[in-house]
Structure 1
Amino acid sequence: MDLLDKFDPLIAERARMGDSQPDPLNIVMDEMLSATEAMIGGRKIILAGTNNYMGMTFDPDAIEAAKDALDAFGTGTTGSRILNGTYQGHKALEQALMDFYGMDHAMVFTTGYQANLGMISTLAGRGDYVIIDADSHASIYDACAMGNADVLRFRHNSVEDLEKRLKRLPAESAKLVVLEGIYSMLGDRAPLRELIAVAKAAGAQVLVDEAHSMGFCGETGRGVAQELGVEDQVDFIVGTFSKSVGTVGGFCLSNHPKFEVLRFACRPYMFTASLPPSVVASAISSIRSLKNAHNKRAHLWGNVERLHGGLKKLGFNLGTESVESPIVAVCLETQDQLFGMCRALLLEGVYVNVARPPATPTGLYLLRCSLGAGHSADQVDRILEAFKAAAHTLQLPLNEKLRAASASENAKAPQARDAAVATG
């Protein structure tokens, strides 16, 4: 038997998609024009699915820092952090993270995926328990598979189910509850205050992944835990540089007095080449600027309100009833609708992510939009027009009740609507 035979169902599924272009699962950015636009297939496209939440990929200071580091330290380290792969920049990056979060210890990983993989699989060992949300990111699931701990899942964002499962565990056992500030598919938030309270009552330690909330949640952008005032109850904070920071890499922070020993126990940290100096330098620059990026945060939230409200008025079924994050998920019924809408949107000049089972919760087919502080109000309006045109092209059945309500509202107050569009 061929080792690749097990992938025949996936090959058949890809074949059923035919040769229709563009291929939603094989989009190529031919040229990046800015944080919000790219050339795809010879056409200028608005990017509404890049996770570039704070628009930092073209930040002048971050680019200049990367260039300087490239000249001074070369293209890479060719070694892991515990061998030759720790340069002064890596220590400076960890210090920048500690300053940003106000915490005592930081470890930087080569990717955000590795941060979860390394921390969870190392913290919880044989005889310990890891308790995760059912909608956890793939990196969390893979960390559980890599480790030796017993793993339990609780219903998504259910405080009651978490409490029930924790009560079944031996009181004296070591327990790690893994949560996310914002979940990446639907963009919904975790009720961290209540979940953490239940975890602590059961004697568990808590790890919170703030990958999709760093930069824009909380007074200084540290995430949902900061916004809810529960940072002091979180034992480990994990995050990534590939979203709001605008580059690549991952990290974990903690105030635990024994934290530094993990550098010599965490295999994904010990056996992976460290981040290139240019990436490190750009990350330091971005992190330092995020703390005071109040205007950017306000602009981002204004963009999201505009998109969420506009799609809702058009009659689309959204992943969240109200705005919870810069992720706006449009829920569709079939894979044909999903890929058809993605292609139609590209032809209208807009790129969004496609997400489908088994990656999505409850088997949903999602057009996953993620806006950034770099988008203008005009770009958001153009995204809305593209969704309207694409839905018309596909004759997509939208929520008639919402559309009727929207039409009635617009008829009653055209002047107010026009004023809102003008001011953003």
Structure 2
Amino acid sequence: MTSFPGTRIAQLANFVGPTSGGMRTAIEHLGQGYCAAGAERILIIPGERDSVTETGAGTVVRMKAPKVGGGYRLITDPWRVIDTLERFRPTTVEISDKSTLLPVARWARRNDIGSVLFSHERLDAMLSLRTARPGRLGGEGPQYRQLGVAAGVGALYKLLSRTYDAVVVTSRYAAAEFDEVTTPLVRIPLGVDLDTFHPSLATPADDGVLKLVHAGRLSREKSPHLAVATAAELHRRGVRMRLDVYGSGPHLDELVAIAGSAPVTFHGYVDGRRTLARHLAEADIALSVCPGETFGLAVLEALAAGTPVVTANTGGARELVTTSCGRWARPTPEALADAVLALAQLPNRRAAARERAELYDWNTCIQHMLTLHTRLASSRLAA
């Protein structure tokens, strides 16, 4: 990897909770990569109390922040963040927040510091999924528009595009929420830990039972209801199957009700990435069916473990699978059940899944991000 001494990167993440898995994983790997390349790095996140911790991947600053629901915390005083940044003196700031930390991006612009918005989710899709009823969680793009959510955030996107030097998106789907003519978009796919998630960890039992797995937070914006309803539909058709669900969240009771008599087991939160990787490798097929996912780290982790994936035909996760290692369908239990049965007949799908995941390594993602940070820092100094 190219060395980047003299680069001082401040990473800021807001709306952080105990299970904000995808964003947390991405920030962790990027931060480790920045430091490994010789850059200095500070991470500022909300916490239960103020603290400063020195780690091998730079300084981690937790700022006391209130809970805003579901165990998540939100920094509501951006001026405290700015005070910390003035002491650190970054060459660039990388912000994973589209609302309360906007004053930080303005501060960076006034001080000739490069600014990057890392867009981890589409607000229109996320808000629609959060407010949808369980029976309507298959919502496709037109449904979002009917809900009027996209129109409500349009003004915010225009403001973001004028404030940041670059907006990083991870998929074509994620880019679609911005006006690509006026927004400085850079598309950089995320990576996957190919050592931790590996097919050698386990092999599905050859017992005639179709083993499905779903891993993720049990809240509406991740669409676990749709995954469980798909398993229930397969059970209704008489398919010998079982679904193992790994993750915790506020909607467990709803999911149990949707499962009914279907063989669905809710295992709760899995402590340890290696343990999760083994559970993924034990399955025949992973269900990662959220129609509003901007990228889909859970998809890549399943593929890296050798487990093919069924996903929705909308969202960034669709861009990660091919016909050799997955299937996609309309986000309804009936259509997704059809996709599961079709994928179960596909030969060589486990080897193809691993090969697909190997196209997405963290080193490539980190190198692209460091190159962007360096370019923005240089252009600001030259301005």
TM-score greater than 0.5 by the shorter chain: no
Of structures 1 and 2, the one scoring higher in RCO (CA 8 A, sep 6+) is: 1
TM class, shorter-length? under 0.3
Q: TM-score, normalised by structure 1?
A: 0.25
Q: TM-score, normalised by structure 2?
A: 0.26
